């Protein structure tokens, strides 16, 4: 093996190491360096999205290899050298039926789990907690109508990690509970997106959209606004802290005192986390 071959082999091994080991360096609920797969799942919906993604990946790979094999066979077996007298075949009924029915069956096989996943995302089960997320230029406001109707703002914190994802006030929810998220926009269209939960829904002024998630693991989860909403669109992160029931109850009691202000929003400081 020459120098160039050894160099390419070394790059391949390094790339494989980064691809397979990159997730070990990632914290729960946030992207990993050199990540080429979907983020680690933190909800049943995302579990189904990951399964469907992997199913499609395998199916597409098989189809691609099959088509490649057919092309190779055609090139090798039916070239001008091997067939000096070209075939005058005009049609083949069996082949035409097969190449019509097989794609139809493949599409049906894709459609069934696709619709099941769509219904899972859109059919909101009975909620244990409702949180209203209002997109604003360029931060989020969260209201808890089930827990005293307090509201607070969540702005990106320059002095918190991870970079461009840390906020001063996180949304806090209990683990293993169905959380209904209602979204709207105060000025322009925003989008509430949490990759680890399989959640992405528009926040539109004058309209109330709903989605849901059920976090199965405690920890911090991060997302971002996914609708171009102005010059600071890239600085509008979403941070959700998932805690156990006891910690959530304690947080609610503290939040009622900290944020409740006669039904109006208490605005958080953009400089960093409040004490």
Domain boundaries, the chain: 44-83+91-122, 129-259
CA distance 258 to 274: 10
pLDDT at position 89 is 80
What CATH homologous superfamily does 129-259 map to? Cupredoxins -  blue copper proteins (2.60.40.420)
What pTM did the predictor assign? 0.77
Mean pLDDT for each consecutive 10-residue tract of the chain (275 residues)?
Answer: 47 40 48 83 94 95 96 89 83 91 95 95 93 96 91 92 91 96 96 95 95 94 94 95 95 89 41 33
**3-class secondary-structure state, position 57:** helix
Provide the β-strand partners of residue 141.
134, 153
Do 146 and 196 form a contact (C-beta atoms < 8 A)? no
How many Cβ atoms sit within 10 Å of the Cβ of residue 68?
10
d(CA 14, CA 46): 29
Residues 137, 235: Cα–Cα separation, whole Å: 10
Q: What pLDDT does residue 4 have?
A: 46
The reported pLDDT for the residue numbered 77 is 87
CA distance 45 to 193: 13
Question: Residue 245, class by beta-carbon neighbours within 10 Å (0-12 exposed, 13-18 middle, 19+ buried)?
Answer: exposed
pLDDT at 27: 55
What is the Cα–Cα distance from 212 to 194, expressed in whole angstroms? 11
Contact between 237 and 169 under an 8 Å Cβ cutoff? The reply is no
Q: What is the pLDDT of residue 85?
A: 85
Strands 129-136 and 179-185: parallel
pLDDT at 12: 45
User: Whole-angstrom Cα distance, residue 65 to residue 63?
Assistant: 6
């Amino acid at each position: 093996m020459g120098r160039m071959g050894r160099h390419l082999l070394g790059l391949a091994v390094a790339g494989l190491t980064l691809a397979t080991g990159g997730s070990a360096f990632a914290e729960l609920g946030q992207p990993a360096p050199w990540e080429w797969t979907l983020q680690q799942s933190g909800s049943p919906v995302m579990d189904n999205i990951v399964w469907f993604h992997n199913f499609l990946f395998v199916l597409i790979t098989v189809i691609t290899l099959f088509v490649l094999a057919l092309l190779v066979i055609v090139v090798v077996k039916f070239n001008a050298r091997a067939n000096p007298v070209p075939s005058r075949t005009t049609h083949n009924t069996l082949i035409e039926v097969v190449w019509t029915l097989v794609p139809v069956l493949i599409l049906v096989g894709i459609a069934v789990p696709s619709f099941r996943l769509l219904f899972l995302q859109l059919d909101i089960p009975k909620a244990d907690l409702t949180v209203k997320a209002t997109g604003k230029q360029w931060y989020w406001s969260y209201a808890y109508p089930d827990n005293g109707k307090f509201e607070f703002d969540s702005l990106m914190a320059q002095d918190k990690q991870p970079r461009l994802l840390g906020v001063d006030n996180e949304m806090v929810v209990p683990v293993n509970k169905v959380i209904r998220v209602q979204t709207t926009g105060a000025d322009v269209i925003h989008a509430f997106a949490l990759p680890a939960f399989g959640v992405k829904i528009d926040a539109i002024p004058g309209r109330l959209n709903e989605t849901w998630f059920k976090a199965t693991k405690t920890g911090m989860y991060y997302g971002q606004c996914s609708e171009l909403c102005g010059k600071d669109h890239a600085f509008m992160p979403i941070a959700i802290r998932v805690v156990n029931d006891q910690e959530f109850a304690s947080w609610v009691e503290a939040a009622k005192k900290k944020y409740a202000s006669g039904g109006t929003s208490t605005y958080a400081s953009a400089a960093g986390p409040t004490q």
